[in-house]
Amino acid sequence: MRSTERRPRTVGDLGVRIGLLSLAALLLLALQLSGNLQPVQNFLTQLTMPAQLSATGLTTAFSQLIESVLQMRTLNQELAVLQSRSRQLEAELQTLREVEKENETLRTLLNFAQTRPRLELRGAQIVARVVGEESTNFIDTLLIDLGAVHGLRSGMPVVTDQGLVGRISSVTENNAKVLLLSDPSSLASALLADSRLNGIVRGDTGNHLVMDFLPQGPTFAVGEAVLSSGLGGQFPRGLTIGTIDTIESQPNAVFQTATVRPAVDFSSLELVMVITNFAPSQGLNDLLNQAEEAAPAQNAPAQEETAP
């Protein structure tokens, strides 16, 4: 059995080691004096070079790895900063786009007011922003952020630069409700721009308008502009309502009917203007009643004359 105990070093062993070291020193000194030490150094260098190169390569690779890790950490931090800045700039750009869009709309509304000085729009000072919407099968209205303290009253016409929107139906201190022209209860006396035919435009379901009481006989065309006629005193004359989309004419009917494509997109309204110097009347209902009373009489067949 092999003994695991370490043998104590003796004085003899130590002397042998010292002797060997002394001999090696004397040998190196002799080689140095004789000029033969360089080949031995070259031999030893070649012998130990692979180990040195390996150690140097490992050290270099390890240093490069540490440097790469540090660079990656720095790059990640810089990327996070750049991404945050990019999001901030994108938000600022979107804000600037909205401001530019709003400014363009305001410039358009201001131009509309300047080209129609008779419609006192307070120089486009009354520009109402839509703050609420109520739209069902029975009512189609918008809530705007102007009210009685701003001089608004029921019945005032509401427009955009595109055309007629509707009228104020009710007013509170700081808000007003706008009854849109597309509401089934809305009525507006209308005039065809080219054929000069008069009729009455009313709201219909599906964001459409219908023009009734167009007399038979005179012709008009699809695409013809429809304007407010001013008859009945509910809206000023000459406001754009839309264009003729389809025409319906019955052979024995007294009146023709047409669908009208609105000039205003009622579903995307953001800014409107209120005409404050126009005093509306209720005369349109009288015109409508007269037209409805006249229609049955004109549609009744003529009685045949009897022989005496």
Q: What is the pLDDT of residues 41-88, one digit of tens each?
A: 666 666 656 655 565 666 777 677 777 777 888 888 888 888 888 888
Is residue 143 within 8 A of residue 133, CB to CB? The reply is yes
Give the pLDDT band (50/70/90) at residue 308.
Answer: very low
pLDDT higher than threshold 80 for residue 304: no
Q: Confidence class of residue 193 from pLDDT cuts 50, 70 and 90? A: very high
pLDDT digits (tens, 9 = 90+) for 1-15: 455 555 555 656 666
- Which helix (H) or strand (E) element contains residue 213? strand 208-215
Q: What is the mean pLDDT of residues 274-295?
A: 68
More confident residue, 171 or 279: 171
Q: What is the mean pLDDT of residues 186-207?
A: 89
Determine the pLDDT at residue 299.
46
Q: How many helices (H) and strands (E) does the chain have?
A: 3, 12
Q: How far apart are CA 42 and CA 59, in angstroms?
A: 24
Q: How is residue 45 written in tokens?
A: 């260098």
Burial-class residue 207 by CB neighbours within 10 Å (0-12, 13-18, 19+). Answer: middle
**Domain 122-294 = CATH 2.40.10.350:** yes
Residue 137 has pLDDT above 60, yes or no: no
Determine the residue type at 49.
M
Provide the pLDDT for residue 261. Answer: 94
Q: For 142-181, what is each residue's pLDDT tens digit?
A: 888 888 888 889 999 999 889 999 999 889 998 888 889 9
Q: What is the pTM of this model?
A: 0.62
Contact 237, 247 (CB under 8 A): no
CB of 213 closer than 8 Å to CB of 184: no
pLDDT at res. 282: 63
Residue 208: what are its φ and ψ, rounded to 5°? -110, 165
Domain boundary assignment for the chain: 49-115, 122-294
pLDDT for residue 305 is more than 50: no
Confidence of residue 297 (pLDDT cuts 50, 70, 90): very low
Distance of CA 25 to the CA centre of its chain: 90
> What are 203-246's pLDDT values in tens digits?
887 678 999 999 887 788 899 999 999 888 889 999 999 999 99
